[in-house]
Amino acid sequence: MFKKRVKPHLFLFLMMLCAMPAWANAVVTETAIAGTWRPLTSAFAHVSAHQQAVLSLPFFVRIVALNVEPGTRVAAGDELLRFDAPLLHQHLASWKQALLELRLAKKRLHVLRQSEQQHVITRRERVAGEQVVARAEGKSTLAWEILAADLDLLHIHIDKKTLEDRIHKDNLQTVARSLGRLLAPFAGIVSARRAALGEQLPAGSPLLELDVLDPVYVDVGVPARELPLWRGGKTWWLGHKHRVSLQLLAGVPLYDASSGLWLRRYESKNPGALLRDGAWIEVHHRGASQAVVWVPAAAVVARNGKTWCVIQKQDQFKAVEVHAGAASDGRIPILSGLKAGTKVVTRGAYEWLYRDIKQLIKFVD
């Protein structure tokens, strides 16, 4: 008698059934519960000054006094340094000479008009005198405009008549020394000093860097997948003693090709000027409240770069892909893929997902 031969694939199947582990009959489930969740995340951010200026002078100078160091706080109009500038002396001297020539031309014209009334000179001589005055006025106006441009570049605001009186009363050297000052264009903090006492510098050389550091701009780099979490809620950074809130500025996020992140610009107070231009800080964000389904942490399993839950429907088990948030107190918020009231496997989920009998047995005829 010949024994009936068992097909190989059926034999393997029977062997696997006999070898089924104990966990297959010891699955534990719990019910997913509806609730709310406020995501907490963090990102690195770049700090930049709210206003920044690199101060220089429009002509060759020699530094004769320095009043500030890096970190010095200044108010608008404060004297930052003193300098000696030959070109400023020259423009002052030119204007003083033009004023003197104009004054002499006007005196001579006054004499000519009196002489014309006395019939001592002709009308032609008086007209010639008026022309001399007109040329002197033009020369004086041009000299003043050149000097005024220098003063404007130095952020020096002085009335023309006041300066003219000073030139008449004081010597030119004293007036030039009083004007040879670099003043702060706005209130801020000196972030860098590039000039040294006694140094001679060409026109346009950077002397000082002045920053407005309260408030500051904070550009936060956010991955594309996290952008929805940053659309609402509160953002802050941790200062020396307390938490400092960030205020989101209007505008859409900008893509930074170098980092692959989306930049969201905030404005922040800067107590104690702890943050400096160019600094990097860690920023925290608590998102807006959203509806989720809470499950035990043991119910969530990762596989092939995705997140899964094993659900039970009557006597059947099925793996479903879910989108999960960060765990909190042993529970995980499920943002999508699962409904409240669903039974999820909390013990045995890993085994059901990774030891699916259909993945282990290959039927071959």
CATH code, domain carrying 312: 2.40.420.20
Domain final residue, candidates 243, 266, 286: 286
Instruction: Assess contact for 234 and 286: CB atoms under 8 A.
Output: yes
Asked, for residue 71, whether it belongs to a domain, the answer is: no
Asked, for residue 65, whether it belongs to a domain, the answer is: no
Q: Which is more confident, 47 or 327?
A: 47
Instruction: Assess contact for 108 and 124: CB atoms under 8 A.
Output: no
Q: Regarding beta strands 33-37 and 290-296, do their DSSP bridges make them parallel or antiparallel, or are they unpaired?
A: antiparallel
Q: Give 235-277 pLDDT, tens digit per residue.
A: 999 987 789 999 999 989 999 999 999 999 999 999 888 899 9
Q: Give 290-348 pLDDT, tens digit per residue.
A: 999 999 999 999 887 889 999 998 888 888 999 998 888 899 999 999 999 999 999 88
CATH number for the domain that contains residue 217: 2.40.30.170
Asked, for residue 184, whether it belongs to a domain, the answer is: no
* Domain co-membership, 322 together with 351: yes
* Domain co-membership, 161 together with 243: no
Q: How many domains does the chain fold into? A: 3
Torsional sign, CA 248, 253, 255, 261: positive
Full residue range of the structural domain in which residue 323 is found? 8-37+290-360
Asked, for residue 60, whether it belongs to a domain, the answer is: no
pTM over cut 0.75: no
Residue 66 pLDDT greater than 50, yes or no: yes
How would you label 100-116 residue by residue, b for 16+ Cβ within 10 Å and e otherwise? ebbeebeeebeebeeeb
Cα dihedral 260, 266, 268, 274 in deg (nearest 10) = 10
For residue 356, name the pLDDT band (cuts at 50, 70, 90). low
